[in-house]
Structure 1
């Protein structure tokens, strides 16, 4: 055994480096066959075992050739003469795993690949290695079981790549164990092996991976459906050993994610790929089981990924959904999933979902004993549950034609969601403007926040389109607009809260535009196209924000400042009071003394505001004609995908920002000349001897447009230097048009 271990150590070092082997391929077969060391050769020397078993009738490899391989110091504290059969088998499996990995890698030398391929092919033909590795699943040694499963998965994947028929014994083993669950405990290793193979297929860059996956899934299509039904039909409360169920749940959830990802991206239609969409209530039911929080968290996140088309995102090298042609079958599956989620919420999912307990921490869930854990909700679950509802509503509304049905659903489900969130948000949401919920819930997760904002905007656009098509009376439309505030999905409020959260910092918006990790480009373009048509409502909402901020500031100043004012300060307060009264009178004939109810908010938001002149021409949407939201959205998705395809200019941009000494070139500060005239009214400013220069002391509409100006200038400068990762021409046109609307509306005051 000493000689065999030394040869395996030397072989491991060579294969790890991807080096060409000096000996003939047959000379390595004996050392790599686990059957020799797992059965009747636990203590024999390499020479004795070799002569006892032989390999295709070939003599033992010459000692000189074996010694020619440089010895690698991979070993270990125990003297080499005392190596156990377990250590030899673990090293064998490691060498096999690394050899197959090197063989599948494009970086390995072609001569070395030829030798590795020859060795693996001979090993597969000369021994029943599939059965040998499968038998190791019964071993009580968990490390040996894991290594055997990983090595078997790689060998099976190699067989499919080389168009070698899969072992019938292994297929039968998986079919038997999966169909006999939960009585059979070896099903978890079958799940792990299947998951690994499907993952490798999805990662493969070859053009035939859809055919490879089709060949692989054919024998398991029916049995995986049987396992799915058996796994989720168990009564968790009555099980004595719940750890086995949890292991099976976690193992199958990973497999289910890759099956679903292959369903979306490879356009296959096996039942096992669609089983989650066909029976989503089984997975949703786990959320109500009395299992650990991390299990519920993983299942909710999985459902969220499916609704956002982000399953398997790690295999695509980006988090944004890939641009794909329409798929009616997939759209039907997504609609079924969305309706199942809404049905679960309707029957009380949120009322039974507990988000208390230990919130997740970086690196685990335990806190150092010397520190106290701050009590609070699990915001991972809060974010995922919120996205489930808002995204499911959007998907359902895309396939819904009744405006009344949409209004009823919005009222019911958004009220349920806001009720669910209310006790978990501290400080509580503003009762007069619940639209803040998106910014508050998703403050720590930019990508989810923008997904929620995009879904909310999609709901608004769909509903307003249906209202315009079916309603002739403006009174009903105005009533519906009030509901958008009451139930937290008014797009202008959502966007203003987003800007407030980032401090109206254009550099954050620029980062969102450059990054391929969020859907901000699509959301931003769709919102700007809405803003140019709905400027009046936006301006009214900004005034309402100004009134609210003014009242808050006055309350703070009254508690912290002396009552006596200087003459100049008193004069400015008088002017500001007049301006406040003017704006408030525009907003409402009788401003509420305490804006605490939605009815009062609705009355204020009904106010008339200056109507901007009609734009001279429609905005240029992304290489499409008309005002079709669908066309604009599709093209924006394409542009967001292009971000990841332009890594070189993005790198140039990052390098330039990091090394350039010319800070003014890439600064986000506006040009010296003002692009927007100073706001004629600067209400609600703090008392001081000079006029307010800080942008935070002027109205929301001005701060928003100032942010747009600086963003426009930064994008324009980067584009001129060819540092922007995609063509932003249409985006710049939108920003310039919004600026023109603002200037004209200010001139009309």
Structure 2
């Protein structure tokens, strides 16, 4: 077919449609290979077709991206794929296709530049797979744009293209290729970094930044690039990392400055979510499964870099950054939220959780790293609680600080477990450094809101003491519950008095018109009211008692002051202590005192032990739970001894 003779845009559209339909059918088009190459090239260039050039260029780039993806991902039959590969080879080796595509990266139209970025990325990956070489024209263009262009469509398109290449390579087998890619762009990325981040320790330099729409878009893509670079420092086993791979850690002070002074809500939230992923060792989780990837000590200075990040966070809090951060109303899809007359808009929970976890994790890691115990744990935590009070304004009245964990993270299991785990570490390290006994430390921790006993009781109450939900957590890979649970049980068995105190509570405080928290008069421990809690009741993912050898169960609540007893028959007891516990709960406990939170908590743990033991015996538990069962048995023994002492002391 003679394209110069046909000339018209309409015929070119028909030819492109013919090629595209052939690709969708999984066949090669009837046109000869050379003609297909001419059709695609004419479409990508598209400039000589007047008003139709935009549509022709977009259609051609979409077609080329689909073809390249199909070949790369092996979505086509082998014989058909070979035909398309010949066409791609001709396009990439015998024409100036890449030069034409990278020119489109500069297009003012964002759709055109984005389609060009997608297509270029696929072509770069295809060339790399076939020849092991980068596209020189792509490499040169991106470096020039990063080094010389201001924020705008060209920078955005090059950033998007580089990020896409990084993502694909990070999931591949060759980490040497990733290392080479970072080395190629290291210098130009650092130049771009200097344009987008304010100078260290000079907050007023933010005045020169105009937070335009172009800057906002470019900065968001830059954060995605930082995530890819940070992940590359984890996955590559080099002892020394390049500067660009360490930006998120060594320039964290500049990122925190942007949070404090940037007027764009989305920018502040995106930075906080990124820092949260860095500190929780979850960079890249939104892109693909981790496959066991973690922050192992990949390069020599990683430990000191992480310490620098946590120190910058704590310094920013000390300098009053929380007072400068404005919280916006939570997003509501489909329109504005309905707000009662006496209520204000609810704050953005995603942002508040991210900020809280960034601070909690920074305190934890800084305590672990230091040897002189200089971190002001109480001061930092009270800064956080003050910030949260301002954020929730008149909607929440919390008189016991340990309850913030439930208010913030009650409906986000993964964040809840991370927060509980950090609080537990802070508690243990502080107890060791202060040299306090268990009872005194629990009182100190309650004053600043990090008593792990209160947190565990709040967790049990939020799930209505349902052992099957704890079992869901234990076998889930989505949270760090197993690690947290084992560590907490060790604390519980060594501080039974602290756990008992956290379970015994009376008067109330107020949340959104509902009685939410009750407080212990003698020790100020606080817990949610189980019967009137606004925290949602979780539903177990699996019905573990539905097997042939299981029994039907029924939970009966006689009243708010009475204990819920799970009625079971012919249950294979998992330890002798559980039998003693059941006896005492049905006789001594119910007969001599009101059954409250403590009894329900121990019954929940007892039932958890029973079902884990049964699953272990049937070889259905996903890992060896022997250590867990031993700790649960120790908890049962503590409770049995307590009940026996009360029985002996009771008047005859």
In the alignment, what sits opposite 2:429? 462
The 3 A distance-change label for structure 1 pair 455 and 656 is: closer
Q: 1:402, CA displacement in angstroms?
A: 2.7
For the 8 Å contact 2:382–2:448, the answer to whether it is kept is yes
The 3 A distance-change label for structure 1 pair 39 and 316 is: closer
Give the TM-score normalised by structure 1.
0.71
Q: 1:734, CA displacement in angstroms?
A: 2.1
User: For residues 46-195 of structure 1, what are the structure 2 equivalents within 5 Å?
Assistant: 84-182=52-150, 186-195=154-163
Q: CA RMSD in A?
A: 3.5
1:746 to 635, 640, 643: 643
The 3 A distance-change label for structure 1 pair 533 and 369 is: closer
Q: Counterpart of 1:314 in 2: which secondary structure? A: coil
1:501 to 462, 482, 485: 462
Q: 1:722, CA displacement in angstroms?
A: 4.3
Q: 1:8, CA displacement in angstroms?
A: 2.3
1:601 to 519, 523, 527: 523
Is 2:3 aligned against 1:32? Answer: no
Q: 1:708, CA displacement in angstroms?
A: 0.7
The 3 A distance-change label for structure 1 pair 167 and 34 is: farther
The 3 A distance-change label for structure 1 pair 325 and 370 is: closer
Q: Deviations over 1:36-82 (max 9, x none)?
A: 64233x27xxxxxxxxxxxxxxxxxxxxxxxxxxxxxxxxxxxxxxx
Q: Counterpart of 1:397 in 2: which secondary structure? A: helix
Give the TM-score normalised by structure 2.
0.81
2:492 to 527, 531, 538: 531
Q: Deviations over 1:108-158 (max 9, x none)?
A: 433333333222122111112221111113333322221111101111122
The 3 A distance-change label for structure 1 pair 241 and 114 is: same
Is 2:347 aligned against 1:377? Answer: yes
In the alignment, what sits opposite 1:212? 177
**What is the rounded CA distance, in whole Å, between the counterparts of 2:41 and 2:618 in structure 1?**
60
Larger radius of gyration between Structure 1 and Structure 2 = 1
The 3 A distance-change label for structure 1 pair 20 and 734 is: farther
The 3 A distance-change label for structure 1 pair 240 and 533 is: closer
In the alignment, what sits opposite 1:565? none
For the 8 Å contact 1:35–1:132, the answer to whether it is kept is no
In the alignment, what sits opposite 1:482? 443
**What is the rounded CA distance, in whole Å, between the counterparts of 1:13 and 1:178 in structure 2?**
38
Q: Counterpart of 2:449 in 1: which secondary structure? A: coil
Q: 1:682, CA displacement in angstroms?
A: 8.7
Q: Deviations over 1:147-202 (max 9, x none)?
A: 11110111112222223432333322222221124377622221111111111222
Q: 1:390, CA displacement in angstroms?
A: 0.8
User: For residues 197-596 of structure 1, what are the structure 2 equivalents within 5 Å?
Assistant: 197-202=165-170, 204=171, 206-208=172-174, 210-233=175-198, 237=207, 242-267=212-237, 269-317=241-289, 322-323=293-294, 325-327=296-298, 328-355=300-327, 357-361=328-332, 363=333, 366-367=335-336, 375-403=345-373, 405-406=374-375, 409-425=376-392, 428=396, 430-431=398-399, 433-467=400-434, 471=435, 479-542=440-503, 546=504, 548-549=505-506, 551=507
Q: Counterpart of 2:134 in 1: which secondary structure? A: coil
The 3 A distance-change label for structure 1 pair 371 and 115 is: farther
The 3 A distance-change label for structure 1 pair 142 and 200 is: same
**What is the rounded CA distance, in whole Å, between the counterparts of 1:262 and 1:317 in structure 2?**
15
Q: 1:239, CA displacement in angstroms?
A: 5.4
For the 8 Å contact 1:103–1:113, the answer to whether it is kept is yes
In the alignment, what sits opposite 1:4? 12
For the 8 Å contact 1:134–1:170, the answer to whether it is kept is yes
For the 8 Å contact 2:117–2:161, the answer to whether it is kept is yes
For the 8 Å contact 2:43–2:59, the answer to whether it is kept is no
Q: 1:343, CA displacement in angstroms?
A: 0.8
Q: Counterpart of 1:601 in 2: which secondary structure? A: coil
Q: 1:678, CA displacement in angstroms?
A: 3.2
For the 8 Å contact 2:108–2:153, the answer to whether it is kept is no
For the 8 Å contact 1:18–1:102, the answer to whether it is kept is no
Q: Counterpart of 2:584 in 1: which secondary structure? A: coil
Q: 1:30, CA displacement in angstroms?
A: 1.2
Q: Counterpart of 2:478 in 1: which secondary structure? A: coil
For the 8 Å contact 1:177–1:184, the answer to whether it is kept is no
**What is the rounded CA distance, in whole Å, between the counterparts of 1:516 and 1:119 in structure 2?**
45
In the alignment, what sits opposite 2:614? 717
Aligned residues: 587
The 3 A distance-change label for structure 1 pair 139 and 185 is: closer
The 3 A distance-change label for structure 1 pair 4 and 441 is: same
For the 8 Å contact 1:231–1:249, the answer to whether it is kept is yes
Q: 5+ unaligned residues in a row in structure 2: which ranges?
A: 1-8, 200-204, 510-518, 527-539, 556-565, 572-577, 647-652
Q: Deviations over 1:634-672 (max 9, x none)?
A: xxxxxxxxxxxxxxxxxxx97987997887379995643
Q: Counterpart of 2:286 in 1: which secondary structure? A: helix
2:22 to 5, 14, 17: 14
**What is the rounded CA distance, in whole Å, between the counterparts of 1:491 and 1:211 in structure 2?**
44
**What is the rounded CA distance, in whole Å, between the counterparts of 2:89 and 2:497 in structure 1?**
72
Q: 5+ unaligned residues in a row in structure 1: which ranges?
A: 44-82, 554-593, 606-652
For the 8 Å contact 2:339–2:345, the answer to whether it is kept is no
The 3 A distance-change label for structure 1 pair 13 and 500 is: same
**What is the rounded CA distance, in whole Å, between the counterparts of 1:36 and 1:99 in structure 2?**
14
The 3 A distance-change label for structure 1 pair 19 and 236 is: farther
Is 2:581 aligned against 1:678? Answer: no
Q: Deviations over 1:445-503 (max 9, x none)?
A: 21111100001111222233445xxx5xx67x765442211111111111111112222
